[in-house]
Structure 1
């Protein structure tokens, strides 16, 4: 059981603050007797689209074996990648002596920059009841996605997802679990399968997969609370 837990909730691109608070409260209740430290990072659509940045100073002082990251949606993967880069992982410089963490929960991620899934994700993240703001932003994003596909530009989501399978970030004695769904309209289960297979091929420690049948994006605990909590509670 970890002594310190960093629960990193990120509502950008499909996961709302209200949704992720359900999981944060669950972690607090489960670990209250250990008195862990919690770090919850929220970000929005502007953080996802802005240049990569991060501050890992609050993380590097901890023993990696005592840190649990809970990454929500593609926005969470983005922030995780930024923190890894800030700590010197995956850069051209010397590799840090220790990984960023050894335990990782990947929730409704990672996805790809496909048109339909990205539009649904951003549509849910933008403010409701404000069409003057919402529809121009959706139009701009739609144009960008079309240009990206036509010109064959690299997929930024695929690039940031590489940090999750970087041996210098988690190490080969790590453990991870993917929570995903066949009915997720934002992150397709095939994308998660592909990423998990890569982790297996690289022998990046223990790789577990929890595939749900009907749950929506970042809503797997609603379909089967006991299954989710039982998996999280395992060492």
Structure 2
């Protein structure tokens, strides 16, 4: 019996229950609509401050998942420099500078087609200052398994094991093709979320489009990879 998701016969074409997700989608529309509505009425300097806060929060949480805890002040200073909001020269550590560079690149180019070169460039940015990584800006090549583990060295608990390195390039070919082919203006765009069934406190015009949402909180868009690989049951 397969242990990991990528060992299942229907990988990567999983199914999901659309009805079970509907309430969450409605909540998503309401909250993002309110957010975009408020964002549009902020002053320019307040927008910049909110943008820095949102992107830095995303970067901090992403790094924390990997067990890396960044300096918030250093990260925000780097983001402000990247956006041209702070001309003051400051000493910023490589880790904060690297992830800030990646987040700003995602923010500015969220709608561009995804490709291997983009992923490699992002990896090079986030690995800035990490000397213990053998391969930077490329897909892994080592023969030993890549695992998520906890516990002692003598008796580890394996929570997940990724596909072997020999499969990574082909898996990423498939992922990139799917991601680009299901974009809004592509040959097989993913379905749009329906408008909320119940009245909400904002006009329907405030329900965010992909462009409007990205303009305010773009860094999370490519990180979430758009829940499109699965199909309704």
TM-score by length of 1: 0.25
Higher relative contact order (CA 8 A, sep 6+): 2
Larger radius of gyration: 2
